[in-house]
Amino acid sequence: MVNEKQELQTHKKEAPVEAERTRNRRVYIPSVDIIEKKDAIILLADMPGVDENAVNIVLDKNVLTISGTVEVDHHKGYDLSYAEYGVGDYERAFTLSEGIDQDKIEATVTNGVLRLILPKAEPLRPKKIEVKAS
């Protein structure tokens, strides 16, 4: 399933402009992995340049919006002579299914990767039903 030899590829997708933003900044869509675990959904988002203070997570009804602001480092006295990527903010929204325990969402940022743990609400966790011997 997972090919170790697979070459890493990179390209940042720029977010379409839906509403004009106040900051004159490019906005990129972070790449995400979403993993379903037994009692939680894990969301991993690549947001290089973002730390725990610059990330914003809003859950409004069922819409989860993650955004991150990046401090653009214009190296003073240097010219950008070659560029493969652009620097900008990140934003992406997801519609969650019902049954996320909204009070227990946890978020951490390490090495530019946002990790969100969305715990499933109690009634949705799988229950094992014991079969009694008669």
Partner 1 sequence: MWWPEFGRFQRTWDPWREMQRIQREMDRLISRATIPYSQDFPAIDVWVSENDAIITAEMPGIDPQAIEISLKGDSLSLSGSRSPEELKEGEAYHRQERAHGRFSRSLRLPFQVDPGKVTAKYEKGVLTIDLPRAEEDKPRKIQIKKE
Question: Among residues 23, 61, 75, 128, which is the contact residue for partner 1, using CB under 8 A?
Answer: 75
Question: Among residues 15, 25, 32, 107, which is the contact residue for partner 1, using CB under 8 A?
Answer: 32
- Residue 2 CB, shortest distance to partner 1, in Å, is 5
DSSP-derived secondary structure letter, 104 = G
**CA-based nearest residue to 48, from 68, 73, 26:** 68
CA distances from 101 to 5, 59, 61, 124 (A): 38, 11, 12, 10
Asked if 2 and 79 count as a contact pair (C-beta separation under 8 A), the reply is no
Q: In the window 48-67, what residues touch partner 1 (CB under 8 A)?
A: 48-51
Quick check: 127 binds partner 1 (CB under 8 A)? no
Question: Among residues 86, 93, 104, 108, which is the contact residue for partner 1, using CB under 8 A?
Answer: 86
Alpha-carbon gap, residue 16 to 11, rounded angstroms? 15
Question: Among residues 62, 65, 72, 85, which is the contact residue for partner 1, using CB under 8 A?
Answer: 85
Question: What strands, in cross-sheet order, belong to the sheet with 13-14?
Answer: 13-14, 27-29, 89-95, 63-68, 55-60
Question: Among residues 77, 98, 123, 133, which is the contact residue for partner 1, using CB under 8 A?
Answer: 77
Binding residues (CB under 8 A) for partner 1: these are 2-12, 14, 31-38, 41-42, 44, 46-51, 73, 75, 77-87, 109-113
